[in-house]
Amino acid sequence: MADLTQQEWTSKLNADQNAVILDVRTPEEVAQGIIPNAITIDIYKGQGFVYEVEKLDPSKTYYVYCRSGGRSAQACSVMNQLGFKNTYNLIGGFMEWKGEVASI
C-alpha cells in the first residue's frame, strides 16, 4: 500500500491501464457523489467487506478512497493481507477531492 496525494493518485490512475477505483464509504456518503467509474464496497460491512473484496481480481491495481483517508488506508491494508499487491490510498479522501464528481 502507498499513501498518495491527490495529484500523485490521479497521475498514476490516468496512466494505469489496469486500474480499478474503489470507494469504501457508506451508501449515505456515496449518495453525496462519487469519483467517476468507482465501484463501491462499504468497509463498515465487516466480514461482508472481505467477502466482496475476495471477488475482485488481485492482479488489478486498486485506487482506494473514503471520506477522509482513514478507512481507505484500512481497506488497503486488508486487501494487502488478502494478496492484493497494488493498492493506493488517497490522502484526504473525498473531502479533499478536486476532480470530477458523478452522481449515483
* 101 part of a folded domain: no
Predicted pLDDT of residue 104: 80
CATH number at residue 37: 3.40.250.10
C-alpha grid cell, residue 51: 467477502
Amino acid at 55: K
pTM: 0.97
- The answer to whether the CB of 74 falls within 8 A of the CB of 60 is no
Number of domain units in the chain: 1
Q: Is 60 helix (H, G, I), strand (E, B) or coil?
A: coil
Catalytically active residues are 66
Expressed as residue numbers, the domain containing 42 is 2-96
C-alpha grid cell, residue 34: 462519487
- In DSSP notation, 29-56 reads HHTT-B-TT-EE--GGGTHHHHHHHHTS
Q: Report, as an integer, the average pLDDT of 45-70.
A: 97
pLDDT in tens, 25-47: 999 999 999 999 999 999 999 99
- The answer to whether the CB of 40 falls within 8 A of the CB of 30 is yes
pLDDT at 5 over 90: yes
